[in-house]
Amino acid sequence: MILEKLSLINFKNYDEAQLEFCPKFNCFVGNNGMGKTNLLDAIHYISFCKSFFNAIDSQNIKHDHPFFALQAWIQKNDETHEIFCGVKRGHKKQFKHNKKEYERLSEHIGLYPLVMISPSDIELIWDGSEVRRKFMDSIISQYDKVYLEKLISYNHVLHQRNALLKQFYENRTFDSISLEIWDEQLVIYGQEIIRIRKHFLEEFIPLFIRNYHFISGSNEEVSLEYDSSIKDISYKTVLLAALPRDRASHHTTVGPHRDDLNFKLQHNSLKKFASQGQQKSYLLALKLAQFELIKEKKHTKPLLLLDDIYDKLDESRFKQLIELVSGDDFGQVFITDTHPDRIQAMFEKNHSQHLIYLVNNGSIQKHG
């Protein structure tokens, strides 16, 4: 799978840009704040139908403009596919594949898999459980359409149940029959989500541990644990037991929407006891394991986006990573960096096919 061309209009700090890419390394180089990461985010939009950084589509429109448009041409299975994304203020987002608009955006997820490695990955360690659930869900959703549909259905039912609990609270009423209708559906979808997540981690964890040892160069014991509010009891039993608490708080307090991932190093909390270097290695290992698993499941090499990766690793680890992704196990790679000479020297040394773009406040020029 190769992203051949990308076109942007009124996207973030860009008025207009057209870029062509080579099949291996494509580098966006320039000072901080010039728009390098915005180019990676445009590619992310093409894969996930949304920004990696900003969930509100209209906020990705360039200031004072009425719309943004993204267009991409991707080669897959010896065919070139055209993807279009258009967002106009006050209108529904348009997303088209080969000029045909999707009825549901979920149909597009997983067609063109992608893994993004960014400094914002640190949120996986420091932020709340929602960020870690989204990380897990985004991986599974790229290769398992059934999971994605069940997750969407679960979230819809959860919203309805919470609205009913809030109504009971505000009106000082309670109707167990009405609540049971949503409980039954919540249990059906929720138990399946938990089952799939557990199976995912059985496959994912060995890949993660191997990548951590490669990146860190150590044999430190690392682990990744699924922390579920359901444990080994049926979801229905837990849901019924939590009803008094749910009524008091007027929202659903147990279920896969509350689950978490525990990151551990040497049996201790990664957040509390790991050094900055150990945390960076841990995060990078998570993303490389994500790449491996999606590649295995989809039988294609995902696009790999490396945002300011040099700042995440020391020089020796950075070179080791570049050598790793230069190999045949990886496909097309997109990199942002602040030093064109450093990038140029590195790729000339390992003889990798590469293309460098100089980025300066919305202006993009080929280097060399």
Write the pLDDT tens digit of every residue in 180-231: 999 999 999 999 999 999 999 999 999 999 999 988 888 899 999 999 988 8
Q: How crowded is the C-beta side of 362, counted as CA atoms within 13 Å? A: 10
Calpha distance 311→121 (Å, rounded): 13
Is pLDDT at 38 greater than 80 in this prediction?
A: yes
When computed from its CA atoms, the radius of gyration of the chain, rounded to whole angstroms, is: 22
Write the pLDDT tens digit of every residue in 60-108: 999 999 999 999 999 999 999 999 999 999 999 999 999 999 999 999 9
Query: 15 Cβ partners below 8 Å, 6+ apart?
Result: 9, 62, 362
CB 83 within 8 A of CB 74: yes
Mean pLDDT taken over the chain = 93
Calpha distance 364→6 (Å, rounded): 13
Closest to 129 in 3D by CA, of 252, 229, 207: 229
Domains of the chain: 1-113+303-368 (3.40.50.300), 124-299 (1.20.1050.90)
Closest to 60 in 3D by CA, of 46, 79, 78: 46
Rounded to two decimals, the pTM is 0.92
